[in-house]
Amino acid sequence: MKILVTYYSETGNTKMIAEAIHTIASQNNDSTMKDFKDLTVEELANYDLVFLGSACHHADLAPPVLRFVDKIPKSPKFKLAGFVTHSTYPPEGSERHAELFEQWASKCRKTFEILQTEKNVDYKGYFRCMGVPSKPIEGFINAQIVTDDEEWAEYMEIVVKHPDEKDIKNAKKFAKEVIKNVESL
């Protein structure tokens, strides 16, 4: 199987997850890892499975990735799996964490699902994890989202550790599951 792992990363978080996925994809497969900026939509047709990763911006995939996926033709031959790094809490924590996630990262998964319905993309799943924000995003989060000093200290203590070993392990598990699913078809 020919697999492409591509990513859009500004701080290295998404690249780190792409590397973990590529580690699994390259076992018993013809796998290529490519920075998103070095890729054309037409190249996707050369692969059986594409893992497409993005940093989360404004609650959705980064603008360059949104423009890219908009150009994907209807009913492509490749299968697609998405992955995202975001700088908000995962929704499984408290009600506050779920609220922040919904507001600041929830559109990413929905964008991949829209590709499935509107472009008839064979969508195989989604992975997400926290990633340490860039300094400008960190400043924005502190000024606009997590403004309470106590909550900010808690947030920073958590976010600076991600992606962590558990995130890497879960990304590899995700890749294994997607590949197994595709191979069983």
Instruction: Please state, in angstroms and rounded to a whole number, the distance separating the CA atoms of residues 160 and 96.
Output: 19
φ and ψ at residue 146, rounded to 5 degrees:
-105, 85
pLDDT at 93: 84
Range in 68-72, 102-106, 123-127 the model is least confident about:
102-106
Domains of the chain with bracketed CATH: 2-133+162-183 (3.40.50.360)
Contact between residue 170 and residue 127 where contact means Cβ atoms under 8 Å apart:
yes
Q: Residue 147 gets which letter from DSSP? A: -
List of residues 6+ apart from 135 with CB closer than 8 A: none
Q: Write out the two tokens for 153.
A: 């200290």
Contacts of 63 (CB under 8 A, 6+ apart): 57
Is residue 185 over pLDDT 80?
no
The pLDDT value recorded for residue 58 is 86
Mean local confidence (pLDDT), 95-120:
94
Strands 60-61 and 49-57: antiparallel
**Mean pLDDT value of segment 6-18:** 96
DSSP state of 154: H
Confidence of residue 179 (pLDDT cuts 50, 70, 90): very high
Average pLDDT value for residue range 15-28: 97
What is the value of pTM for the model shown?
Answer: 0.94
Q: Is the peptide bond before 64 cis (omega within 30 degrees of 0)?
A: no
Give the total residue count for the chain: 185
For 126-178, how does the pLDDT look when each residue is reduced to its tens digit (9 = 90+)? 999 999 999 999 999 999 889 999 999 999 999 999 999 999 999 999 999 99
pLDDT in tens, 47-90: 999 999 999 998 999 999 999 999 999 999 999 999 999 999 99
Contact call for residues 119 and 74 (beta carbons, < 8 A): yes
